[in-house]
Structure 1
Amino acid sequence: MFDQIMENEPTIRLVFFFGTLALVALWEILSPRRELRVTKWWRWANNLGLTFLNSFILRIAFPILAVGMAALAAENGWGLLNIINLPLWASVIIAVIVQDLIIYGQHVIFHHVPILWRLHKMHHADPDYDVTTGARFHPIEICLSMGIKLGVVFLLGPPVIAVIIFEILLSSMAMFNHANATLPGPIDKIVRLFVVTPDMHRVHHSAYYPEFNHNFGFNLSIWDRIFGTYKKAPDDGQLGMTIGLEKYQKDLKQSILWMILLPFKR
Protein backbone atom coordinates (compact mmCIF):
# COMPACT_ATOMS: atom_id res chain seq x y z
CA MET A 1 0.00 0.00 0.00
CA PHE A 2 2.78 2.44 0.96
CA ASP A 3 4.58 1.67 -2.30
CA GLN A 4 1.45 2.65 -4.25
CA ILE A 5 1.15 5.87 -2.24
CA MET A 6 4.81 6.69 -2.95
CA GLU A 7 4.38 6.07 -6.67
CA ASN A 8 1.27 8.26 -6.82
CA GLU A 9 2.40 10.89 -4.31
CA PRO A 10 2.58 13.81 -6.79
CA THR A 11 -0.90 12.98 -8.09
CA ILE A 12 -2.31 12.65 -4.57
CA ARG A 13 -0.90 16.04 -3.59
CA LEU A 14 -2.26 17.69 -6.75
CA VAL A 15 -5.72 16.27 -6.09
CA PHE A 16 -5.69 17.65 -2.56
CA PHE A 17 -4.31 21.02 -3.73
CA PHE A 18 -6.92 21.61 -6.43
CA GLY A 19 -9.69 20.04 -4.35
CA THR A 20 -8.98 22.34 -1.39
CA LEU A 21 -8.57 25.34 -3.70
CA ALA A 22 -11.96 24.65 -5.29
CA LEU A 23 -13.76 24.10 -1.96
CA VAL A 24 -12.30 27.21 -0.30
CA ALA A 25 -12.94 29.31 -3.42
CA LEU A 26 -16.59 28.18 -3.39
CA TRP A 27 -16.80 29.03 0.33
CA GLU A 28 -15.45 32.52 -0.44
CA ILE A 29 -18.11 33.02 -3.12
CA LEU A 30 -20.98 31.81 -0.95
CA SER A 31 -19.93 33.59 2.27
CA PRO A 32 -17.26 36.29 1.74
CA ARG A 33 -15.76 37.90 4.86
CA ARG A 34 -14.43 41.15 3.35
CA GLU A 35 -14.82 43.07 0.11
CA LEU A 36 -11.72 42.67 -2.08
CA ARG A 37 -9.91 45.78 -3.30
CA VAL A 38 -8.39 44.17 -6.41
CA THR A 39 -10.26 42.21 -9.07
CA LYS A 40 -10.06 38.50 -8.33
CA TRP A 41 -8.97 37.45 -11.81
CA TRP A 42 -5.85 39.65 -11.61
CA ARG A 43 -4.78 38.40 -8.18
CA TRP A 44 -5.54 34.78 -8.97
CA ALA A 45 -3.64 34.89 -12.27
CA ASN A 46 -0.53 36.33 -10.62
CA ASN A 47 -0.63 34.60 -7.22
CA LEU A 48 -1.32 31.17 -8.69
CA GLY A 49 1.05 31.82 -11.58
CA LEU A 50 3.79 32.42 -9.02
CA THR A 51 2.79 29.21 -7.20
CA PHE A 52 3.20 27.10 -10.32
CA LEU A 53 6.51 28.84 -11.09
CA ASN A 54 7.72 27.93 -7.58
CA SER A 55 6.79 24.28 -8.10
CA PHE A 56 8.76 24.23 -11.35
CA ILE A 57 11.80 25.87 -9.71
CA LEU A 58 11.74 23.35 -6.82
CA ARG A 59 11.79 20.42 -9.22
CA ILE A 60 14.82 21.88 -11.00
CA ALA A 61 16.70 23.14 -7.93
CA PHE A 62 16.40 20.03 -5.76
CA PRO A 63 17.27 16.51 -6.93
CA ILE A 64 15.20 15.17 -4.03
CA LEU A 65 12.27 16.67 -2.11
CA ALA A 66 10.95 16.01 1.39
CA VAL A 67 9.11 12.75 0.60
CA GLY A 68 12.10 11.37 -1.28
CA MET A 69 14.40 12.32 1.61
CA ALA A 70 12.10 10.46 4.03
CA ALA A 71 12.32 7.33 1.87
CA LEU A 72 16.11 7.65 1.67
CA ALA A 73 16.36 8.16 5.44
CA ALA A 74 14.22 5.07 6.09
CA GLU A 75 16.35 2.99 3.72
CA ASN A 76 19.60 4.05 5.44
CA GLY A 77 18.34 4.28 9.03
CA TRP A 78 18.95 8.03 9.30
CA GLY A 79 17.18 10.17 11.87
CA LEU A 80 15.85 9.81 15.39
CA LEU A 81 12.59 8.03 14.55
CA ASN A 82 14.47 5.45 12.44
CA ILE A 83 16.73 4.69 15.41
CA ILE A 84 14.20 4.36 18.22
CA ASN A 85 11.58 1.63 18.06
CA LEU A 86 8.09 3.14 18.05
CA PRO A 87 4.79 1.97 16.57
CA LEU A 88 4.10 3.52 13.16
CA TRP A 89 1.11 5.48 14.44
CA ALA A 90 3.22 7.07 17.20
CA SER A 91 6.01 7.97 14.79
CA VAL A 92 3.50 9.57 12.41
CA ILE A 93 1.91 11.70 15.15
CA ILE A 94 5.29 12.81 16.52
CA ALA A 95 6.61 13.58 13.05
CA VAL A 96 3.60 15.70 12.05
CA ILE A 97 3.68 17.66 15.33
CA VAL A 98 7.45 18.27 15.17
CA GLN A 99 7.29 19.41 11.52
CA ASP A 100 4.42 21.72 12.40
CA LEU A 101 6.46 23.28 15.22
CA ILE A 102 9.45 23.74 12.90
CA ILE A 103 7.30 25.59 10.35
CA TYR A 104 6.00 27.85 13.13
CA GLY A 105 9.59 28.58 14.22
CA GLN A 106 10.69 29.16 10.64
CA HIS A 107 7.86 31.66 10.17
CA VAL A 108 8.91 33.60 13.29
CA ILE A 109 12.53 33.68 12.11
CA PHE A 110 11.54 34.97 8.66
CA HIS A 111 9.84 37.90 10.40
CA HIS A 112 12.73 38.83 12.66
CA VAL A 113 15.86 38.32 10.51
CA PRO A 114 16.03 41.35 8.16
CA ILE A 115 17.44 39.57 5.10
CA LEU A 116 14.78 36.85 5.40
CA TRP A 117 12.03 39.40 5.98
CA ARG A 118 12.92 41.02 2.64
CA LEU A 119 11.84 37.75 1.03
CA HIS A 120 8.87 37.00 3.25
CA LYS A 121 7.36 40.49 3.03
CA MET A 122 6.19 39.64 -0.49
CA HIS A 123 3.64 37.31 1.13
CA HIS A 124 2.44 40.17 3.36
CA ALA A 125 2.42 42.80 0.61
CA ASP A 126 -0.75 41.29 -0.87
CA PRO A 127 -3.35 44.08 -0.52
CA ASP A 128 -6.13 41.51 -0.18
CA TYR A 129 -6.50 38.25 1.71
CA ASP A 130 -7.95 35.14 0.14
CA VAL A 131 -7.20 31.51 -0.68
CA THR A 132 -4.44 32.40 -3.16
CA THR A 133 -2.54 34.43 -0.53
CA GLY A 134 -1.81 31.12 1.18
CA ALA A 135 0.26 29.97 -1.78
CA ARG A 136 1.99 33.30 -2.52
CA PHE A 137 5.67 33.09 -1.52
CA HIS A 138 8.92 34.28 -3.08
CA PRO A 139 10.82 31.56 -5.02
CA ILE A 140 13.95 32.05 -2.88
CA GLU A 141 11.90 31.66 0.32
CA ILE A 142 10.36 28.48 -1.08
CA CYS A 143 13.83 27.07 -1.80
CA LEU A 144 15.10 28.02 1.67
CA SER A 145 12.03 26.43 3.22
CA MET A 146 12.64 23.23 1.27
CA GLY A 147 16.24 23.17 2.50
CA ILE A 148 14.97 23.42 6.08
CA LYS A 149 12.45 20.63 5.46
CA LEU A 150 15.15 18.35 4.06
CA GLY A 151 17.34 19.00 7.10
CA VAL A 152 14.46 18.25 9.49
CA VAL A 153 13.56 15.03 7.66
CA PHE A 154 17.21 13.93 7.69
CA LEU A 155 17.56 14.53 11.45
CA LEU A 156 14.10 13.35 12.51
CA GLY A 157 13.70 10.36 10.19
CA PRO A 158 9.89 10.58 9.90
CA PRO A 159 7.91 7.80 8.17
CA VAL A 160 7.26 8.52 4.50
CA ILE A 161 3.51 8.56 5.10
CA ALA A 162 3.98 11.22 7.82
CA VAL A 163 5.79 13.52 5.39
CA ILE A 164 3.08 13.03 2.76
CA ILE A 165 0.39 13.81 5.34
CA PHE A 166 2.26 16.89 6.51
CA GLU A 167 2.86 18.22 2.99
CA ILE A 168 -0.87 17.87 2.25
CA LEU A 169 -1.70 19.59 5.55
CA LEU A 170 0.79 22.38 4.80
CA SER A 171 -0.84 23.37 1.51
CA SER A 172 -4.46 22.64 2.49
CA MET A 173 -4.38 24.45 5.83
CA ALA A 174 -2.57 27.43 4.30
CA MET A 175 -5.45 27.82 1.84
CA PHE A 176 -8.08 27.26 4.53
CA ASN A 177 -6.76 29.81 7.01
CA HIS A 178 -6.18 32.43 4.29
CA ALA A 179 -9.79 32.14 3.16
CA ASN A 180 -11.76 35.33 2.64
CA ALA A 181 -14.74 33.50 4.07
CA THR A 182 -17.01 33.68 7.09
CA LEU A 183 -16.77 31.10 9.83
CA PRO A 184 -19.57 31.78 12.36
CA GLY A 185 -18.22 33.10 15.67
CA PRO A 186 -19.25 30.18 17.91
CA ILE A 187 -17.73 27.69 15.45
CA ASP A 188 -14.57 29.74 15.02
CA LYS A 189 -14.16 29.89 18.80
CA ILE A 190 -14.16 26.09 19.04
CA VAL A 191 -12.13 25.35 15.88
CA ARG A 192 -9.31 27.76 16.79
CA LEU A 193 -8.72 25.84 20.01
CA PHE A 194 -7.16 23.20 17.76
CA VAL A 195 -6.24 24.68 14.38
CA VAL A 196 -5.71 28.14 12.90
CA THR A 197 -8.88 29.70 11.48
CA PRO A 198 -9.16 32.45 8.83
CA ASP A 199 -10.13 35.09 11.41
CA MET A 200 -7.22 34.07 13.63
CA HIS A 201 -4.59 34.20 10.90
CA ARG A 202 -5.98 37.33 9.22
CA VAL A 203 -4.66 39.29 12.22
CA HIS A 204 -1.17 38.28 11.05
CA HIS A 205 -1.78 40.11 7.75
CA SER A 206 -2.67 43.42 9.37
CA ALA A 207 -0.83 46.49 8.12
CA TYR A 208 -0.51 47.54 11.76
CA TYR A 209 3.01 46.53 12.87
CA PRO A 210 2.23 45.20 16.38
CA GLU A 211 -0.43 42.90 14.91
CA PHE A 212 1.43 41.21 12.07
CA ASN A 213 3.95 39.84 14.55
CA HIS A 214 1.23 37.64 16.04
CA ASN A 215 -0.54 34.42 15.03
CA PHE A 216 2.35 32.78 13.15
CA GLY A 217 0.86 29.28 13.16
CA PHE A 218 -0.47 27.74 9.98
CA ASN A 219 -2.00 24.50 11.28
CA LEU A 220 -1.97 23.80 15.02
CA SER A 221 -2.98 26.91 16.97
CA ILE A 222 -1.29 25.83 20.19
CA TRP A 223 2.17 27.18 19.28
CA ASP A 224 1.04 30.81 19.34
CA ARG A 225 -0.47 30.31 22.77
CA ILE A 226 2.59 28.51 24.14
CA PHE A 227 5.08 31.09 22.85
CA GLY A 228 3.00 34.18 23.59
CA THR A 229 2.35 35.26 20.01
CA TYR A 230 -1.43 34.79 20.07
CA LYS A 231 -3.79 37.72 19.45
CA LYS A 232 -7.50 37.05 19.45
CA ALA A 233 -8.59 39.76 16.99
CA PRO A 234 -7.32 42.92 15.26
CA ASP A 235 -7.84 46.18 17.15
CA ASP A 236 -9.95 47.62 14.33
CA GLY A 237 -12.03 44.47 13.89
CA GLN A 238 -12.01 41.97 11.02
CA LEU A 239 -13.86 44.35 8.69
CA GLY A 240 -12.10 47.55 9.73
CA MET A 241 -8.49 46.33 9.66
CA THR A 242 -6.17 47.18 6.76
CA ILE A 243 -4.65 44.21 4.96
CA GLY A 244 -1.11 44.26 3.56
CA LEU A 245 1.94 46.37 4.32
CA GLU A 246 1.66 50.12 4.86
CA LYS A 247 4.39 50.88 2.32
CA TYR A 248 2.61 49.11 -0.55
CA GLN A 249 -0.99 50.23 -0.06
CA LYS A 250 -0.91 52.06 -3.40
CA ASP A 251 0.61 49.07 -5.26
CA LEU A 252 -2.64 47.19 -5.74
CA LYS A 253 -2.07 45.45 -9.08
CA GLN A 254 0.99 43.38 -8.23
CA SER A 255 2.29 41.31 -11.13
CA ILE A 256 4.48 38.20 -10.87
CA LEU A 257 7.49 40.29 -11.91
CA TRP A 258 6.68 42.95 -9.28
CA MET A 259 6.50 40.27 -6.59
CA ILE A 260 9.76 38.58 -7.60
CA LEU A 261 11.66 41.89 -7.69
CA LEU A 262 10.19 43.24 -4.44
CA PRO A 263 12.96 41.95 -2.08
CA PHE A 264 15.60 43.65 -4.21
CA LYS A 265 13.95 47.08 -4.30
CA ARG A 266 15.39 49.77 -2.06
Structure 2
Amino acid sequence: MEHESLYRLGVFVGVMLLMMAWEAIAPARTDPVGRPRRWRTNLLMLLSGSVLLRLLAPISLVAIAGWAQQHDIGALYLIDLSFSVKVLLAIVMFDMIIYWQHRLFHQIPWLWRLHQIHHADPHIDSTSGLRFHPLEILLSYGVKLVAVLLLGAPALAIMLFEIILNASAIFNHSNIRLPARIEWPLRQIIVTQQMHRIHHSQRPEETNSNYSFNLTVWDKLFGSYRKTATKTDQELDIGLVQYQKPEQNSGLGYLLSLPFRRQKP
Protein backbone atom coordinates (compact mmCIF):
# COMPACT_ATOMS: atom_id res chain seq x y z
CA MET A 1 0.00 0.00 0.00
CA GLU A 2 1.09 3.56 -0.66
CA HIS A 3 3.09 5.17 2.17
CA GLU A 4 3.09 1.89 4.15
CA SER A 5 6.63 2.46 5.44
CA LEU A 6 5.81 5.98 6.61
CA TYR A 7 2.73 4.82 8.54
CA ARG A 8 4.65 2.03 10.23
CA LEU A 9 7.66 4.21 11.03
CA GLY A 10 5.47 6.97 12.40
CA VAL A 11 3.62 4.68 14.81
CA PHE A 12 6.84 2.91 15.79
CA VAL A 13 8.67 6.12 16.67
CA GLY A 14 5.64 7.60 18.41
CA VAL A 15 5.01 4.57 20.63
CA MET A 16 8.72 4.14 21.37
CA LEU A 17 9.18 7.76 22.44
CA LEU A 18 6.00 7.66 24.54
CA MET A 19 7.03 4.50 26.41
CA MET A 20 10.63 5.67 26.88
CA ALA A 21 9.35 8.90 28.41
CA TRP A 22 6.98 6.97 30.68
CA GLU A 23 9.82 4.66 31.77
CA ALA A 24 12.04 7.64 32.56
CA ILE A 25 9.34 9.32 34.67
CA ALA A 26 7.99 6.25 36.52
CA PRO A 27 10.13 3.12 36.02
CA ALA A 28 8.82 -0.12 37.49
CA ARG A 29 12.23 -1.75 38.00
CA THR A 30 15.90 -0.71 38.15
CA ASP A 31 18.06 -1.56 35.14
CA PRO A 32 21.01 -3.65 36.40
CA VAL A 33 23.11 -3.00 33.29
CA GLY A 34 22.41 0.65 32.51
CA ARG A 35 20.21 2.10 29.81
CA PRO A 36 22.87 3.43 27.39
CA ARG A 37 24.61 0.07 27.12
CA ARG A 38 21.42 -1.98 26.80
CA TRP A 39 19.70 0.45 24.46
CA ARG A 40 22.70 0.53 22.14
CA THR A 41 22.83 -3.25 21.92
CA ASN A 42 19.07 -3.72 21.49
CA LEU A 43 18.82 -1.05 18.82
CA LEU A 44 21.80 -2.53 16.97
CA MET A 45 20.07 -5.93 17.07
CA LEU A 46 17.04 -4.34 15.42
CA LEU A 47 19.23 -2.65 12.82
CA SER A 48 21.09 -5.86 11.94
CA GLY A 49 17.80 -7.75 11.59
CA SER A 50 16.33 -5.02 9.38
CA VAL A 51 19.38 -5.02 7.12
CA LEU A 52 19.33 -8.83 6.74
CA LEU A 53 15.61 -8.80 5.98
CA ARG A 54 16.00 -6.04 3.40
CA LEU A 55 18.80 -7.95 1.68
CA LEU A 56 17.17 -11.41 1.63
CA ALA A 57 13.49 -10.49 1.55
CA PRO A 58 13.21 -7.07 -0.14
CA ILE A 59 9.47 -7.38 -0.92
CA SER A 60 7.22 -6.37 1.98
CA LEU A 61 4.44 -8.61 3.25
CA VAL A 62 1.96 -5.84 2.46
CA ALA A 63 3.08 -5.83 -1.19
CA ILE A 64 2.77 -9.62 -1.36
CA ALA A 65 -0.68 -9.46 0.23
CA GLY A 66 -1.68 -6.86 -2.36
CA TRP A 67 -0.55 -9.16 -5.16
CA ALA A 68 -2.47 -12.10 -3.65
CA GLN A 69 -5.50 -9.84 -3.29
CA GLN A 70 -5.40 -8.94 -6.98
CA HIS A 71 -5.29 -12.63 -7.95
CA ASP A 72 -7.82 -13.89 -5.34
CA ILE A 73 -5.24 -16.18 -3.72
CA GLY A 74 -6.01 -17.57 -0.27
CA ALA A 75 -8.81 -19.05 1.82
CA LEU A 76 -10.55 -15.75 2.60
CA TYR A 77 -11.27 -15.19 -1.09
CA LEU A 78 -13.32 -18.40 -1.12
CA ILE A 79 -15.67 -17.04 1.54
CA ASP A 80 -18.36 -14.45 0.87
CA LEU A 81 -17.57 -11.87 3.55
CA SER A 82 -17.41 -8.10 3.55
CA PHE A 83 -13.98 -6.54 3.18
CA SER A 84 -14.03 -5.13 6.73
CA VAL A 85 -14.83 -8.55 8.19
CA LYS A 86 -12.00 -10.11 6.20
CA VAL A 87 -9.58 -7.48 7.52
CA LEU A 88 -10.66 -8.07 11.13
CA LEU A 89 -10.59 -11.86 10.75
CA ALA A 90 -7.13 -11.79 9.19
CA ILE A 91 -5.73 -9.65 12.01
CA VAL A 92 -7.12 -12.03 14.64
CA MET A 93 -5.82 -15.10 12.77
CA PHE A 94 -2.35 -13.59 12.46
CA ASP A 95 -2.42 -12.83 16.17
CA MET A 96 -2.95 -16.55 16.82
CA ILE A 97 -0.27 -17.54 14.30
CA ILE A 98 2.33 -15.39 16.06
CA TYR A 99 1.27 -16.92 19.39
CA TRP A 100 2.07 -20.40 18.04
CA GLN A 101 5.24 -19.21 16.35
CA HIS A 102 6.41 -17.84 19.69
CA ARG A 103 5.46 -21.01 21.52
CA LEU A 104 7.32 -23.21 19.03
CA PHE A 105 10.42 -21.04 19.36
CA HIS A 106 10.43 -22.05 23.02
CA GLN A 107 9.73 -25.75 22.48
CA ILE A 108 11.96 -26.65 19.51
CA PRO A 109 15.63 -26.65 20.59
CA TRP A 110 17.19 -25.19 17.44
CA LEU A 111 14.59 -22.41 17.36
CA TRP A 112 15.21 -21.71 21.06
CA ARG A 113 18.90 -21.17 20.25
CA LEU A 114 17.80 -18.11 18.28
CA HIS A 115 15.03 -16.93 20.59
CA GLN A 116 17.14 -17.13 23.76
CA ILE A 117 18.88 -13.90 22.70
CA HIS A 118 15.62 -12.14 23.51
CA HIS A 119 15.40 -13.80 26.93
CA ALA A 120 19.07 -13.29 27.79
CA ASP A 121 18.31 -9.63 28.49
CA PRO A 122 18.61 -9.25 32.31
CA HIS A 123 16.12 -6.39 32.28
CA ILE A 124 13.15 -5.61 30.07
CA ASP A 125 12.05 -2.25 28.83
CA SER A 126 10.69 -0.82 25.58
CA THR A 127 13.90 -1.66 23.68
CA SER A 128 13.67 -5.34 24.69
CA GLY A 129 10.77 -5.67 22.27
CA LEU A 130 13.28 -5.01 19.47
CA ARG A 131 15.91 -7.51 20.66
CA PHE A 132 15.66 -10.51 18.35
CA HIS A 133 18.32 -12.41 16.43
CA PRO A 134 18.33 -11.47 12.71
CA LEU A 135 17.74 -15.11 11.75
CA GLU A 136 14.64 -15.22 13.97
CA ILE A 137 13.34 -12.10 12.24
CA LEU A 138 13.95 -13.74 8.87
CA LEU A 139 12.18 -16.95 9.93
CA SER A 140 9.25 -14.95 11.26
CA TYR A 141 8.98 -13.22 7.89
CA GLY A 142 8.82 -16.65 6.25
CA VAL A 143 6.05 -17.81 8.59
CA LYS A 144 4.00 -14.69 7.90
CA LEU A 145 4.64 -14.96 4.16
CA VAL A 146 3.18 -18.48 4.05
CA ALA A 147 0.24 -17.33 6.19
CA VAL A 148 -0.45 -14.39 3.87
CA LEU A 149 -0.66 -16.66 0.83
CA LEU A 150 -2.66 -19.44 2.51
CA LEU A 151 -5.08 -17.14 4.29
CA GLY A 152 -5.43 -14.52 1.58
CA ALA A 153 -5.13 -11.67 4.07
CA PRO A 154 -5.97 -8.24 2.60
CA ALA A 155 -3.04 -5.85 2.29
CA LEU A 156 -4.72 -3.44 4.72
CA ALA A 157 -4.96 -6.21 7.34
CA ILE A 158 -1.24 -6.99 7.04
CA MET A 159 -0.27 -3.34 7.36
CA LEU A 160 -2.47 -2.92 10.45
CA PHE A 161 -1.20 -6.18 11.92
CA GLU A 162 2.46 -5.21 11.50
CA ILE A 163 1.75 -1.87 13.18
CA ILE A 164 -0.04 -3.66 16.06
CA LEU A 165 2.78 -6.21 16.34
CA ASN A 166 5.48 -3.55 16.70
CA ALA A 167 3.45 -1.31 19.01
CA SER A 168 2.44 -4.23 21.25
CA ALA A 169 6.04 -5.46 21.56
CA ILE A 170 7.17 -2.02 22.70
CA PHE A 171 4.19 -1.57 25.03
CA ASN A 172 4.20 -4.89 26.87
CA HIS A 173 7.99 -4.94 27.30
CA SER A 174 8.09 -1.41 28.68
CA ASN A 175 9.45 -0.84 32.18
CA ILE A 176 6.25 0.56 33.70
CA ARG A 177 3.68 -0.75 36.16
CA LEU A 178 0.02 0.03 35.58
CA PRO A 179 -2.27 0.51 38.61
CA ALA A 180 -4.05 -2.73 39.57
CA ARG A 181 -7.47 -1.21 38.86
CA ILE A 182 -6.35 -0.75 35.25
CA GLU A 183 -3.93 -3.66 34.79
CA TRP A 184 -6.24 -6.53 35.76
CA PRO A 185 -9.21 -5.54 33.56
CA LEU A 186 -6.87 -4.65 30.68
CA ARG A 187 -5.10 -8.02 30.70
CA GLN A 188 -8.41 -9.73 30.09
CA ILE A 189 -8.06 -8.39 26.55
CA ILE A 190 -4.43 -7.49 25.82
CA VAL A 191 -1.02 -8.41 27.22
CA THR A 192 0.16 -6.05 29.94
CA GLN A 193 3.66 -5.41 31.26
CA GLN A 194 3.19 -7.43 34.45
CA MET A 195 1.75 -10.37 32.54
CA HIS A 196 4.62 -10.37 30.07
CA ARG A 197 7.33 -9.95 32.70
CA ILE A 198 6.30 -13.39 34.00
CA HIS A 199 7.28 -14.72 30.57
CA HIS A 200 10.79 -13.26 31.11
CA SER A 201 11.22 -14.88 34.54
CA GLN A 202 14.30 -16.99 35.21
CA ARG A 203 12.04 -19.86 36.32
CA PRO A 204 11.50 -22.19 33.29
CA GLU A 205 7.86 -22.93 34.17
CA GLU A 206 7.19 -19.20 34.12
CA THR A 207 9.27 -18.52 31.01
CA ASN A 208 7.23 -21.19 29.23
CA SER A 209 3.94 -19.39 29.76
CA ASN A 210 2.17 -16.22 28.60
CA TYR A 211 3.27 -16.50 24.97
CA SER A 212 0.66 -14.08 23.60
CA PHE A 213 1.96 -10.79 22.24
CA ASN A 214 -1.29 -8.86 21.91
CA LEU A 215 -4.58 -10.67 22.63
CA THR A 216 -4.48 -12.73 25.84
CA VAL A 217 -7.18 -15.12 24.66
CA TRP A 218 -4.67 -17.54 23.10
CA ASP A 219 -2.85 -18.29 26.36
CA LYS A 220 -6.16 -18.93 28.08
CA LEU A 221 -7.53 -21.00 25.20
CA PHE A 222 -4.40 -23.14 24.75
CA GLY A 223 -3.53 -23.59 28.43
CA SER A 224 -0.38 -21.46 28.73
CA TYR A 225 -1.74 -18.57 30.79
CA ARG A 226 -0.08 -17.84 34.13
CA LYS A 227 -1.85 -15.26 36.28
CA THR A 228 0.97 -14.61 38.74
CA ALA A 229 4.61 -15.56 39.24
CA THR A 230 6.16 -17.20 42.29
CA LYS A 231 7.67 -13.84 43.22
CA THR A 232 6.07 -10.42 43.10
CA ASP A 233 6.47 -8.28 40.01
CA GLN A 234 8.97 -6.09 41.87
CA GLU A 235 11.10 -9.06 43.05
CA LEU A 236 10.87 -11.16 39.87
CA ASP A 237 14.25 -12.38 38.57
CA ILE A 238 14.48 -11.46 34.89
CA GLY A 239 16.53 -13.08 32.11
CA LEU A 240 18.33 -16.38 31.67
CA VAL A 241 20.35 -17.33 34.72
CA GLN A 242 23.23 -18.73 32.60
CA TYR A 243 23.71 -15.43 30.74
CA GLN A 244 24.06 -12.73 33.38
CA LYS A 245 27.56 -11.38 32.68
CA PRO A 246 27.60 -7.96 30.96
CA GLU A 247 29.50 -9.21 27.90
CA GLN A 248 26.93 -11.99 27.46
CA ASN A 249 23.81 -9.87 27.45
CA SER A 250 24.95 -6.53 26.04
CA GLY A 251 27.69 -7.45 23.56
CA LEU A 252 26.36 -7.39 19.98
CA GLY A 253 28.96 -9.79 18.61
CA TYR A 254 28.42 -12.25 21.44
CA LEU A 255 24.63 -12.21 20.98
CA LEU A 256 24.82 -12.67 17.20
CA SER A 257 27.11 -15.68 17.64
CA LEU A 258 25.31 -17.15 20.66
CA PRO A 259 23.07 -19.61 18.73
CA PHE A 260 26.18 -21.20 17.23
CA ARG A 261 28.09 -21.54 20.50
CA ARG A 262 28.06 -24.53 22.78
CA GLN A 263 24.90 -24.13 24.83
CA LYS A 264 25.01 -23.73 28.58
CA PRO A 265 22.57 -25.86 30.60
Q: Structure 2-normalised TM-score?
A: 0.96
Consecutive unaligned residues in structure 2, runs of 5 or more? none
Contact 2:33 / 2:246 at 8 angstroms: preserved in 1?
no
Instruction: Report how many aligned residue pairs link the two structures.
Output: 261
1:82 shift after superposition: 2.1
Structure 1 segment 67-82 matched on structure 2, within 5 A: 67-82=62-77
Aligned counterparts of 1:234 and 1:101: Cα–Cα separation in 2: 24
> 1:208: which partner in 2?
203
The answer for the alignment partner of 2:141 in structure 1 is 146
Name whichever of 47-56 and 184-193 sits farther off.
47-56
Per the alignment, residue 261 of structure 1 pairs with 257
AA aligned to 1:22 is: L
Deviation at 1:18, TM superposition (A): 0.7
Structure 2 residue matching 1:241: 3-state secondary structure: coil
- Per-residue deviation at 1:85? 2.2
Matched with 2:126 is 131
Equivalences for residues 6-21 of structure 1 within 5 A: 6-21=1-16
1:169 partnered with 2:164:
yes
Structure 1's consecutive aligned runs of 4 or more residues displaced over 6 angstroms after TM superposition are none
Aligned-pair distance for 1:250? 2.5
SS in 2 for 1:247: coil
**Following superposition of structure 1 onto structure 2, how do residues 1-266 of structure 1 map, counting pairs within 5 Å?**
6-251=1-246, 254-266=250-262
Alpha-carbon RMSD: 1.0
- Identity over the aligned pairs, expressed in percent? 43
TM-score, length-scaled by structure 1: 0.96
Structure 1 alignment gaps of length 5 or more: 1-5
**1:138-158 Cα deviation digits (max 9, x unpaired):** 001100000000000000011
Q: Secondary structure at the match of 1:68?
A: helix
Q: Is the 8 A contact 2:118 2:128 kept in 1?
A: yes
CA–CA distance in 2 between the matches of 1:85 and 1:56? 39
